[in-house]
Amino acid sequence: MNGVTGREGTHQHLVNSILKIQEQGGVPVPGGDMLWPDPILVGRDEKKLSALAARTGVKRFTTDLDLALSDSKNEVFFDSSITAMRTTFTRRAIDAGKAIYIEKPTAESTEEAVALYQYAKSKGVKNGVVQDKVLYPGLVKLKYLIDTGFFGTITSIRGDFGYWIFDGFHQRCQRGAWNHVVADGGGMVLDMYPHWAYVIGDLFGDIQGVFTRATTSTKRRVDENGRVYDCDADDTAMSIFELANGQLVQWFSSWAVRVHRRDLWAIQVDGTRGSATAGMTQCHVQSEPQTPRPIWNPDAEPTIDYLAGWSEVPTREPSGNANKAQWELFLKHVAIDAPFRWNLLIGAKGVQLAELSLRSAAEKKWIDVPPLA
């Protein structure tokens, strides 16, 4: 597990995924066997690694990536290091014959991302990309509504994501400084649009066109070491995506907004027979018979409680942590060749959407998103 001393790597992948799998006794597979993940933590800072190992009870850690890759007992390479180094680290792991499971974005350019997929394929190594958000309980419920025809004909799709990232002058930032510096691989579009590519693709269909405006709302911040630095990476982006079926999707993403909704993320889907709003865990619906009859009257107080007309979709089968669920799928893919559809080519589609969205923002024009062969 390379680069897991960061927030996402520590909490979502090590503590909430690998260690939780150990706590449950492993991942069961047909025949009664259990897959048991035994992590070795790899990073550049020995003090951070040592502290993380002590806190989590992990026995093995090293600052020598090549040493970890040379050990035949280490069958899977995972990376959640900074984006700028991901391709370099992953190619070394491919050369060592390891199965590859990495965070997104898989590279800083579409060309690099496709080349990484082709390289892994040429070496015959199994590969996957973290695409956890489609396994969030709220989106699982939304997918169920789509598959069962709840909406009728879908008429609109809107996504709203974000929250306030403090600048560090009076309250500590919730995200590392690299997120806000272009040279370090930061930026809302590069970080989150690879997610939107597979979320929209899995739920509604592939994106074939994009128009984006991206801005840097917060110009200066204080980093983890108390140093003031200039921010040049985008922290807010607004996009219109066109799907292969002609449907338009509106999407807003920002780390410079305050939350006034049920969750940090909301997708609203409207259709001729009903509508739904989904967040990370919940999904609420309003059918056509439940829809109120609003009348525009700016001279009178509202008489309708619009939120009261929505009902929550029940949780029938708790799905647990989405990263853990995807880890289990990938481990079974490696061990028993179980299906795993989120490979490095799917990861490259996310990089492509981010790259073309940034190009659209820079050139202030509509950009086609061609299919990746």
- Confidence grade of residue 320 (pLDDT, cut at 50, 70, 90): confident
**Segment 154-186, tens digit of pLDDT:** 999 999 999 999 999 999 999 889 889 998 889
**Segment 1-18, tens digit of pLDDT:** 999 998 889 999 999 999
* The pLDDT of residue 319 is above 80: no
Q: How far is CA 201 from CA 117, 196, 220, 264, 335, in A?
A: 19, 8, 35, 21, 28
pLDDT for position 235: 97
The whole-angstrom separation of Cα 134 and Cα 203 is 8
**Parts of the chain belonging to CATH 3.40.50.720:** 7-133+323-351
pLDDT for position 176: 87
Share of the chain above pLDDT 70, in %: 100
Rounded mean pLDDT of 313-317?
90
Fold (CATH) for 134-315 = Dihydrodipicolinate Reductase; domain 2 (3.30.360)
* DSSP output for 301-354: -----GGGG-EEPP-SS----HHHHHHHHHHHHHHH-------HHHHHHHHHHH
Alpha-carbon 106 to chain mean position: 12
The whole-angstrom separation of Cα 285 and Cα 141 is 10
* DSSP output for 124-165: T--EEE--GGGGSHHHHHHHHHHHTTTTSSEEEEEEEEE-B-
CB 334 within 8 A of CB 126: yes
- Torsion angle, alpha carbons of 249, 135, 350, 164, to 10: 70
CATH superfamily of 7-133+323-351: NAD(P)-binding Rossmann-like Domain (3.40.50.720)
**Segment 106-115, tens digit of pLDDT:** 998 999 999 9
The whole-angstrom separation of Cα 30 and Cα 23 is 20
* The pLDDT of residue 373 is above 80: no
The whole-angstrom separation of Cα 106 and Cα 336 is 25
Q: Read off the pTM.
A: 0.92
**Parts of the chain belonging to CATH 3.30.360.10:** 134-315
Q: Which residues of the chain form beta strands (DSSP E)?
A: 27-28, 34-35, 40-42, 60-62, 76-79, 99-102, 127-129, 154-162, 207-215, 220-222, 228-230, 236-243, 248-254, 265-271, 274-278, 283-287, 311-312, 367-368
CB 14 within 8 A of CB 4: yes
